[in-house]
Amino acid sequence: MFDGISIQLLMGQLLIGLINGSFYAMLSMGLAIIFGLMHVVNFAHGAQYMLGAFIAWLLLNTLGINYWGALFIAPVVVAIFGMVMERLVLKPIHHLDHLYGLLATYAVTLIVEGLIRQQYGSSGLPYSSPIPGGVNLGFMFLPWYRLWVVLFSFAMCLGTWYLIEHTKLGSYLRAANENPEIVESFGINVPRMITLTYAFGVGLAGLSGVLAAPIYQVSPSMGSSLMIVIFAVVVIGGMGSIMGAILTGYLLGVVEGLTKVFYPEGANLVIFVIMILALILRPQGLFSKKEGA
């Protein structure tokens, strides 16, 4: 196809790009939902993603609950953790500058990661694939589990987008993003909506963690290493833009994968180069409807 580049390598990296993009999309979507309503840059998102993976590992190794059970239980547990965190940490500082929210969630990240590291070490724990095997497409081998992750996360993103953009519940959320005081003056319990929205965003991070457990090592730092990229995705897509976060997540995953094929040295940098260009040329984000930054 291209000089020195086999179709196997290209398709393989495209698949890895899609898988990474799936995680980027789900995580940045949760982050965008939280930022949209609360204007909190949730730095704990990576730790909450890691918690999802760890809870899945714990459920399997202590209670014998398999992946499919964990896929439901772990996000709920992480969401409950999010609710408690919102009430105890974020609500008291809601009226302060947004920087305090970022610092507080960063502190939670350090505490959660530290506790997990102390208990389970930092080397990473294995989690076997719940759908072993795959299909040989001729030009590449496609593992079933990876196909499941791409399809499931795509369905989750689409479902969440539909919920927010096309349902009554979503219209409350979009309205509260614009003017929470007026939405509350209609008799809607906005403080509870904020708690539940945070829990939902955090639950999405937990769900991503469960999906990630069989692909990556379950380790305390698995979220932190991803978070920098996720923030770049959200900035490029447009802070608070749900569809922007989803599309940018997939797009950047694929761009990163293709860069590994054509210019491997630049693979770790390409997302940040795009972020800088986006900030210069369209600071409000590629998919934001707002004019200017």
The residues binding another protein (CB under 8 A) are 168, 171-172, 174-175, 177-179, 181-191, 289
3-state SS class at 2:
strand
Nearer of residues 100 and 152 to another protein, judged by Cβ: 100
Nearer of residues 221 and 288 to another protein, judged by Cβ: 288
Amino acid at position 255, single letter? V
Nearer of residues 167 and 268 to another protein, judged by Cβ: 167
Q: Taking the complex as a whole, how short is the minimal distance between the CB of residue 112 and another protein, in angstroms? A: 31
Q: Taking the complex as a whole, how short is the minimal distance between the CB of residue 56 and another protein, in angstroms? A: 35
Q: Taking the complex as a whole, how short is the minimal distance between the CB of residue 109 and another protein, in angstroms? A: 31
CA distance 24 to 149: 12
All residues at 6 or more sequence positions from 3 whose CB lies less than 8 Å from its CB, including other chains: none
Q: Taking the complex as a whole, how short is the minimal distance between the CB of residue 165 and another protein, in angstroms? A: 9
Q: Taking the complex as a whole, how short is the minimal distance between the CB of residue 181 and another protein, in angstroms? A: 5
Nearer of residues 196 and 275 to another protein, judged by Cβ: 196
Nearer of residues 1 and 289 to another protein, judged by Cβ: 289
Nearer of residues 110 and 169 to another protein, judged by Cβ: 169
Three-state SS letters, 74-122:
HHHHHHHHHHHHHHHHHHHHCCCCHHHHHHHHHHHHHHHHHHHHHHHCC
Nearer of residues 131 and 175 to another protein, judged by Cβ: 175
Q: Taking the complex as a whole, how short is the minimal distance between the CB of residue 186 and another protein, in angstroms? A: 4
Which of 192, 194, 214 lies closest to 202, judged by CA? 194
Q: What share of the chain is helix, strand, coil (3-state, %, to 5)?
A: 75, 5, 25
Q: Taking the complex as a whole, how short is the minimal distance between the CB of residue 263 and another protein, in angstroms? A: 39
